[in-house]
Amino acid sequence: MAAALLAPYAADEQHSRGRRHAESPPRFRGEYQRDRDRIVHSTAFRRLVYKTQVFVNHEGDLYRTRMTHSLEVAQIARTVAVALDLNEPLTEAICLAHDLGHTPFGHAGQDELNVCMRDFGGFEHNLQSLRVVDELEAKYADFPGLNLMFETREGILKHCSVKNARELGDVGERFLQRMQPGLEGQLANIADAIAYNNHDVDDGFRAGLLSIEQLREQPLFGQQYEKVRARYPALEDRRLIYEIMRRMIDTVVTDLIENTRKNLLAAGPQSIEDVRRAARELVVLSAEVYEQHVSLKRFLNKHLYSHEKKLVMTQQAKTIVRELFATYIGDIQRMPSEFSMRAGLMDATGRARVVADYIAGMTDRYAIAEHERITGC
């Protein structure tokens, strides 16, 4: 991407901290385009299509999966990136990679795998996303992982404990020094939250777990409901929800662009280093819209993610992950040879990590089938 099109505070490949393993520059693409393309070609990315966002993949064809979620995050973030003259290919790369480390069965799977790994350093999906792109993808002859640019990796690693940060080297430094990620990383993070807040309203309604009456109490939804109802009194519920959702996304995205512009003007960063040294993140919603956004998030937590129908699925998912983990830890030969050979060379902690890598990489349906094969139920 030509540097002239970018704002001075955007990430710019000319001033990048580069790749872990030196490579010759691409001939026809920018460096961050190359990152995005590598992510799209990765095995972990393809598997996102069969991984749970909120509803288990086989519960219905119309629900979001991690793949469609990641695409929605990317398209929201790209609009904002272009509006603010940030680096669009980098923004897209971070968004498409942000959930690569997710286990099967969404947060239920991640929580249970974390419990299984308690004595071996725990499991955290965000850290696992970085592990996927840094180490686990095995596609290139010259290096492990995808060998992505520093700024892409920095954006993928949203949070990190001090202990893990010490072990991560370059990309962990900012957590020790309390610095910010680049603006593209900040943007991917908030775009993630905007995307799921909105698409989970749609999926929750479709599943019959949320009602329009309940949703109207939420200011983000309620305000748009009144406007749409007034203008289209006869609109059927399905289209009503879609029309409200597109207006909700527009409201939040517009606020994000305007508020971030204000922040950039006030802070006046002249480079990505200024952005990193800023006291706080600059790509943020205004206080008023943030409050509404958080209120909707709390509402979804209470009425969708913790719905009793969801909790049944959660328990089943946890049982599957727990029993798979116990089986492979008990007999590493029950994993495919690429994993069992790696595990065979390691101590107990290393073996557990290989088992976690194997389980985390599974799609929902693969985990279910593998569990049935092993336990017969």
**Which residues, numbered 187-206, are part of the site for Mg ion (CB under 5 A)?**
192
Task: Report the SS3 class of residue 207.
Answer: coil
Q: To the nearest whole angstrom, how small is the minimum distance from the Cβ of residue 99 to Mg ion?
A: 5
Stretch that binds Mg ion, among 10-18, 97-105, 137-145, 366-374 (CB under 5 A): 97-105
Q: To the nearest whole angstrom, how small is the minimum distance from the Cβ of residue 28 to Mg ion?
A: 30
Stretch that binds Mg ion, among 34-42, 98-106, 265-273, 339-347 (CB under 5 A): 98-106
**Residue for token pair 């999906």:** 125
Q: To the nearest whole angstrom, how small is the minimum distance from the Cβ of residue 51 to Mg ion?
A: 11
Q: To the nearest whole angstrom, how small is the minimum distance from the Cβ of residue 73 to Mg ion?
A: 6
Cβ proximity to Mg ion, 158 vs 310, nearer residue: 158
Q: To the nearest whole angstrom, how small is the minimum distance from the Cβ of residue 245 to Mg ion?
A: 17
Cβ proximity to Mg ion, 133 vs 343, nearer residue: 133
DSSP state of 84: T
Q: To the nearest whole angstrom, how small is the minimum distance from the Cβ of residue 110 to Mg ion?
A: 12
CB 263 within 8 A of CB 284: yes
Cβ proximity to Mg ion, 196 vs 325, nearer residue: 196
Cβ proximity to Mg ion, 249 vs 264, nearer residue: 249
Cβ proximity to Mg ion, 123 vs 225, nearer residue: 123
72 binds Mg ion, rule: CB under 5 A: no
Please report, for residues 62, 299, 332, the alpha-carbon distance to residue 221 in angstroms, rounded to integers and kept in the order given: 21, 11, 50
Cβ proximity to Mg ion, 106 vs 269, nearer residue: 106
Question: What would the DSSP string read from start to end of 21-40?
Answer: S--PPPSSS-HHHHHHHHHH
99 binds Mg ion, rule: CB under 5 A: yes
Return the CA Rg of the chain: 21
Stretch that binds Mg ion, among 9-17, 30-38, 92-100, 180-188 (CB under 5 A): 92-100
Q: To the nearest whole angstrom, how small is the minimum distance from the Cβ of residue 154 to Mg ion?
A: 17
Stretch that binds Mg ion, among 93-101, 127-135, 176-184, 230-238 (CB under 5 A): 93-101
Q: To the nearest whole angstrom, how small is the minimum distance from the Cβ of residue 305 to Mg ion?
A: 14
Computed from CA positions of residues 172, 177, 182, 188, in that sequence, does the dihedral angle turn out positive or negative? Answer: positive
CA distance 99 to 191: 13
88 binds Mg ion, rule: CB under 5 A: no
> Total number of residues binding Mg ion (CB under 5 A)?
2
Q: Return the residue nearest Mg ion (CB atom).
A: 192
**Residue for token pair 């990136």:** 81
Cβ proximity to Mg ion, 48 vs 285, nearer residue: 48
Please report, for residues 213, 223, 229, 239, 318, the alpha-carbon distance to residue 232 in angstroms, rounded to integers and kept in the order given: 18, 14, 5, 10, 44
Question: What would the DSSP string read from start to end of 214-277?
Answer: HHHTSHHHHHHHHHHHHH-TT--HHHHHHHHHHHHHHHHHHHHHHHHHHHHHHH---SHHHHHH
User: If phi over 0 gives left and psi between -120 and 50 gives alpha, with beta otherwise, what is residue 85?
Assistant: left
Binding mask 301-320 for Mg ion (x = CB under 5 A): --------------------
CA distance 262 to 255: 11
Please report, for residues 90, 125, 156, 170, the alpha-carbon distance to residue 36 in angstroms, rounded to integers and kept in the order given: 7, 20, 12, 21
Cβ proximity to Mg ion, 195 vs 210, nearer residue: 195
Q: To the nearest whole angstrom, how small is the minimum distance from the Cβ of residue 193 to Mg ion?
A: 8
Binding residues (CB under 5 A) for Mg ion: these are: 99, 192
